[in-house]
């Protein structure tokens, strides 16, 4: 369905239309023979024709691999699914064959979804007094789920904090830029962060870090600019060494979006994603990540440098 891909293998991914970018991302993952290929909303924002091409690619992939696709579009789901899992209100409401689901759903949530495209299912933590009279309160959660929800506030971190890899790598604004620095550092410590990657031109004060048992690694980068390829290469080597030691990293600049997003996306590129896919992923977490054209172009330059090194 996408024979034109053969003619664009030498074209930077960032210059390709979205359908080709996503097709290449899928093919790259398939080349690694995954036990399970997971694809989240692959047709989002595509025209009907481009969505059809991408779904046909996934149908073909499913002949040889286990494929899990998240979709909200019922027609598209009908076209590609062998089985359907309906997730609503924080629970699996139904898991049946696609034919059974779309012709005779067994759950009330399934019937609502087929009829309207959505489900009126309360969230697991909904207070009974806030629900409409005709909506039943959700059943009690399993004990482990209750414990996880009770721990949720501690996982939030300071304002602007976002996990890219939960429990491993995050982005955050500069501690102290909005609230008191001790408040922000305590919040970072509470979520498990042990080391900050500082990208502002001036370094963080060391005394507050020490008070909270934290440390940092400083690479000064000018505001709204990217690092150089040698700079990012050395920084990522040091970050990987810290991660291997069990450190939990939070990258920050001033606002925690431009330089921070660029470094986080570069880390994803170094771990096998294309520049365009890395950019898409970090922006799904925080739409403002990577602010300037220069920062976007740098990610492609970094990908190209890695490919040249691998082919040398």
Q: Are 18 and 45 a contacting pair, CB within 8 Å? A: yes
User: Considering 32, 119, 195, 253, which one is annotated as catalytic?
Assistant: 253
CA distances from 280 to 22, 59, 264, 290 (A): 10, 23, 12, 10
Query: Is 253 marked active-site?
Result: yes
Number of C-beta neighbours around residue 228 at 10 A:
13
Residues in the chain: 312
Q: Give the residue numbers annotated as catalytic, written as ranges.
A: 253
């Amino acid at each position: 369905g996408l024979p034109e891909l053969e003619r664009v293998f030498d074209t930077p991914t960032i210059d390709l239309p979205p359908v080709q970018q996503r097709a290449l991302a899928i093919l790259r993952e398939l080349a690694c023979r995954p036990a399970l290929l997971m694809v989240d909303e692959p047709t989002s924002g595509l025209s009907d024709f481009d969505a059809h091409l991408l779904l046909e690619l996934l149908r073909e992939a499913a002949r040889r691999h286990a494929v899990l696709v998240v979709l909200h579009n019922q027609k598209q789901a009908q076209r590609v699914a062998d089985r359907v899992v309906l997730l609503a209100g924080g629970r699996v409401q139904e898991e049946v064959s696609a034919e059974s689901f779309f012709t005779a759903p067994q759950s009330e949530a399934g019937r609502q979804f087929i009829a309207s495209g959505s489900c009126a299912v309360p969230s697991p933590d909904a207070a009974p007094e806030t629900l409409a009279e005709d909506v039943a309160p959700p059943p009690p959660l399993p004990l482990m789920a209750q414990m996880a929800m009770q721990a949720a506030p501690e996982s939030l971190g300071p304002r602007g904090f976002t996990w890219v890899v939960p429990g491993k790598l995050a982005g955050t604004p500069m501690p102290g830029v909005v609230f008191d620095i001790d408040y922000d550092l305590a919040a970072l410590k509470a979520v498990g962060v042990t080391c900050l990657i500082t990208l502002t031109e001036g370094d963080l004060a060391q005394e507050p870090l020490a008070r909270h048992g934290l440390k940092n690694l400083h690479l000064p980068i000018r505001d709204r600019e990217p690092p150089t390829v040698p700079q990012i290469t050395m920084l990522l080597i040091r970050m990987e060494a810290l991660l291997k030691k069990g450190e939990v990293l939070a990258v920050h600049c001033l606002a925690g979006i431009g330089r921070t997003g660029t470094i986080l996306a570069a880390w994803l590129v170094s771990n096998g994603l294309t520049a365009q896919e890395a950019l898409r992923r970090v922006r799904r977490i925080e739409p403002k990540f990577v602010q300037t054209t220069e920062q976007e172009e740098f990610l492609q330059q970094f990908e190209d440098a890695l490919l040249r090194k691998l082919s040398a």
